[in-house]
A and B are shown apart, each in its own frame.
Chain A
Amino acid sequence: MIAELGLAALWLAAALAGLQLVAGALALTPRGATLAGIVRPVAAVQGALALIAFACLVAVFATTDLSVKLVAMNSHSLKPLIFKIAGTWGNHEGSMLLWVTVMGVAGGFVALIEKRLPEPMLLATLAGQAFVSLGFYAFLLIASNPFERLFPVPEEGNGLNPLLQDLGLAFHPPTLYLGYVGLSVAFSFAIGALVTRQVGPAFARAMRPWVLGAWIFLTVGITAGSYWAYYELGWGGWWFWDPVENASLMPWLAATALLHSVSVLAARDALRAWTVMLGVVAFSMSMIGTFLVRSGILTSVHAFAVDPERGSFILALLAINIGGALTLFALRAGTVTEGERFAPVSREGALVFNNVMLSAILGIVLFGTLYPLVAEAMGAKVSVGPPYFNPMGALFAVPMLVVLAVGPMLRWRRDSFGRIGKTLVIPAMLVAAGMIAMVAIGGVGVLPTLGFALALGLGWASVLPLKDRNLRRTPLPIWGMVIAHFGIAVSLFGMSCESAFSVEKLVAVKLGEVTAVGPWQVKLDAVEPMAGPNWTALEARLLVRYGDHGKVVQIDPQSRSFWAPPQQTSESALLTRWNGQLYAVLGGEADAKNGASRWQLRLWWKPFVTLIWLGGLLIALGGVLALVGRVASDLRRIFARDKIAYRRVRMAQLDSGQEGERP
């Protein structure tokens, strides 16, 4: 019953999306102007219906209704409730439903609250949003109906990939989705602006909160995903340049560039065409990412339900949406008048430079991700890995970081290096000191050396915009910028230290044996069986000590066996200190020699590795502060306007009242 309700809601939502598209487009013509009134309510109801459909799917998963095929395929009655619910979006159909739901709700939200834009532009935006949604509704209803029934009803579900039975991962995909879909709103705004030829500060201000919001979610999603891969996969790395990881990084890079150029457009009315272009590119990257992941066209460590037919469908959507948008851009960009001018040495100049660098990195990541396909088309087989991505990325990241340190101190429009030269002495000295220190230590690669030195300099330079400011009266967006830039320095410091100073050890130890890794002493105390709700495990008890006189602490890495479906995972054990993490993975039992069994242990000491994710969270926090600041000032402006309007009305009333009293 619930499943049928959900399906009905989904069909209705799709129909309303069609109506929203037609009405929104017709309302732009003189003869269809009467339709303008229905577009906003239709968008709101469409969002609500999509939300109902999604709630229905959550409900059938929560109750493990095995007569629904999707539940039978992906869930299991023994699973803890939280993972049953997370299972809703842990599969292709459910995640696509989540996608249209978030898109519908976001569109409804725009329809209800966005009052600043000229009405035609908003109508075009909502029509654009409906157009993109409609493709995904068609995809869901034709090729991947999440509410399909199954007969006969199976006794038990197929379970969920045990790797996915993890809180971090339960919330990692939806976070990224919110980011992807937030970019779809930016995309729709860009379409609206192109169609109505009104690319200007008003458009930028309307788009900015959505870009910021999407960017925050992407930042959090990537940070969480990286940490998840780090502790769950048991490989000790935090970034693998895997196609799926790149698929999430590319929209982030585009969104970061968009975020900065939209600020220039809002504040200075410059970079008009470029901002619109980035709005299209950012969402293209979300869709390309989804396509690469779902079509299975690239080999990845991430096992998704891969299906060439679905791949074709997403590719068709991609070609229609993005190809259409880029054609529109090419046709209209020539008519977008140029914005304000600025000198090369200016805040705008620095932002343009960083935009170009971010785009270059984006191009490199995209090319590296697609290169295996290019090679395959020519008959060769290659895999592209860190040896390509790291140096090529750094080629553009290093100048970008230098400008990132300097840019925020420059003035808008035109400035000179002479004015800010003095403030940069300390950061420059820090960079030099960092270089010297790393060279003195010796044996450190070029990239970690550069990263370490730049992190020190950037860390100092990033807080300089607060100098000479009254901290209590500094606007929140400035705080946001400072914290986000500082977060980049923190993250970079973590990455450099991790790659320069990590110690790795693979040993087979007997019970009671002590082994050393970096500054740690590790003793294998016991190995015992454990049982969980749907798994059994071997758990090692490790007693570890930092240095010669440290406190002894116990950590327990596990080797888990799930039985539905049967699969083994290793649960790494982490011990965090202020200066890094000890990372332990229990392998299997090695050969028994002389009666005493030996256990394989993989140990890492990773100095300052946690700073990578701490920095990521700081970057996101900076985004949150900026968003709160922007939204608060928008609200203040709206209230102020209402107040003025109210006063005017009152004055008019009083005036007319006085007139009336006159005899």
Chain B
Amino acid sequence: MSDPLPSDAGRPKAPRWAIWLPLVLFVGFVALVMIGLYRPADRTVASALVGKPMPAFTLPAALPDRPGLAGANIANGRPHLVNIFASWCIPCRVEAPQLGALARAGVPIVGISVRDSAEDLRGFLKENGDPYQRIGADDDGKVQLALGSSGVPETYVIDGKGVIRYQHIGEIRPEHVPMILEKLKEAGR
């Protein structure tokens, strides 16, 4: 009734080692996530957004006496530094003098304060200096994520058209300042 098929047809005959392959891959997966899980790593993600326009956002004012922050404020023809920070973040204290120096050098700096309260923020600025022209409150970290940042502090160099030119992950140390100024100069061209 049924005609015979060629003997090699439809027989994806797997070699013996192939049977063990899923297990080997799985063990690899477990090893990988073990490393990821137990290694104390800061989980920042490099922004894929460098060279792209900043995502549009609007943040309410973090302090009553200072304006909040919207994308339009930054894309106003001049290069800006956007600093993502929080009063509860220790490295932010470390980078505060460098931000202060940059602000005194005439660099417009705007802040995005992440998950913070007005009192804590005020205390932080009093203690560590206040380089910010505007501070937007990002209470749920949404803008932070939209910018491709996953930790504090992070700092972005944004050119006058609102395009992200550089992302600095972690605190700005004294030796970084010339490099940041250079990036700002490039962005201003």
**Interface residues of A, Cβ cutoff 8 Å to B:** 235, 270, 273, 277, 280-281, 284, 288, 291, 295, 297, 299, 301, 308, 311-312, 315, 318-319, 322-323, 326-327, 329-330, 333-334, 338, 341-344, 346, 348-349, 352, 370, 372-374, 376-377, 381-383, 385, 387, 413-414, 506, 508, 566-568, 587-588, 590-591, 600, 602
Whether A341 lies near B16 (C-beta < 8 A) is no
Whether A588 lies near B10 (C-beta < 8 A) is no
Question: Which B residues touch A587, using CB under 8 A?
Answer: 56-58, 70
Contact partner of A508 (CB less than 8 A), chosen from B10, B20, B72, is: B72
Question: Which A residues touch B169, using CB under 8 A?
Answer: 381
Whether B140 lies near A326 (C-beta < 8 A) is no
Whether A344 lies near B10 (C-beta < 8 A) is yes
Whether B30 lies near A315 (C-beta < 8 A) is yes
CA–CA, A591 to B59, complex, Å? 12
Interface string of B131-167 (1 = CB under 8 A from A): 0000000011000011010100000000000000000
Question: Which B residues touch A414, using CB under 8 A?
Answer: 5, 9
Q: Which residue on chain B has the smallest CB distance to residue A277?
A: B22
Q: Tell me whether A377 and B23 are in contact in the complex, defined as CB-CB below 8 angstroms, given that A348-B10, A508-B72 are known contacts.
A: no
Whether A299 lies near B23 (C-beta < 8 A) is no
Q: Tell me whether A381 and B45 are in contact in the complex, defined as CB-CB below 8 angstroms, given that A567-B139, A587-B56 are known contacts.
A: yes
Interface string of B13-41 (1 = CB under 8 A from A): 01010011011001101101111110101
* Residue among B58, B60, B139 having the largest count of chain A Cβ atoms under 10 Å: B58
Whether B37 lies near A315 (C-beta < 8 A) is yes
* Residue among A308, A322, A334, A376 having the largest count of chain B Cβ atoms under 10 Å: A376
Asked if B68 lies at the interface with its beta carbon under 8 angstroms from chain A, I say yes
Whether B9 lies near A308 (C-beta < 8 A) is no
**Interface residues of B, Cβ cutoff 8 Å to A:** 2, 5-6, 9-12, 14, 16, 19-20, 22-23, 26-27, 29-30, 32-37, 39, 41, 43-48, 56-60, 68, 70-73, 139-140, 145-146, 148, 150, 169
Contact partner of A373 (CB less than 8 A), chosen from B33, B46, B57, is: B33
Q: Which residue on chain B has the smallest CB distance to residue A274?
A: B12
Whether B45 lies near A343 (C-beta < 8 A) is no
CA–CA, A319 to B34, complex, Å? 11
Whether B145 lies near A343 (C-beta < 8 A) is no
Whole-angstrom distance between the Cβ of B132 and the nearest chain A Cβ: 17
Whole-angstrom distance between the Cβ of A301 and the nearest chain B Cβ: 6
Whole-angstrom distance between the Cβ of A319 and the nearest chain B Cβ: 5
Contact partner of A284 (CB less than 8 A), chosen from B26, B146, B148, is: B26
Question: Which B residues touch A382, using CB under 8 A?
Answer: 45-46
Whether A341 lies near B11 (C-beta < 8 A) is yes
Q: Tell me whether A341 and B10 are in contact in the complex, defined as CB-CB below 8 angstroms, given that A297-B36, A377-B36 are known contacts.
A: yes
Question: Which A residues touch B46, using CB under 8 A?
Answer: 381-383
Q: Tell me whether A377 and B26 are in contact in the complex, defined as CB-CB below 8 angstroms, given that A341-B11, A600-B70 are known contacts.
A: no
Whether B140 lies near A568 (C-beta < 8 A) is yes
Question: Which A residues touch B57, using CB under 8 A?
Answer: 587
Q: Tell me whether A352 and B12 are in contact in the complex, defined as CB-CB below 8 angstroms, given that A299-B150, A312-B37, A567-B139 are known contacts.
A: yes
Contact partner of A600 (CB less than 8 A), chosen from B2, B27, B58, is: B58
Interchain residue pairs with CB less than 8 A apart (21): A273-B14, A273-B19, A280-B22, A308-B37, A318-B30, A323-B30, A327-B23, A330-B19, A338-B11, A342-B5, A343-B9, A352-B12, A370-B29, A373-B33, A413-B2, A414-B9, A567-B139, A587-B70, A591-B72, A600-B56, A600-B70
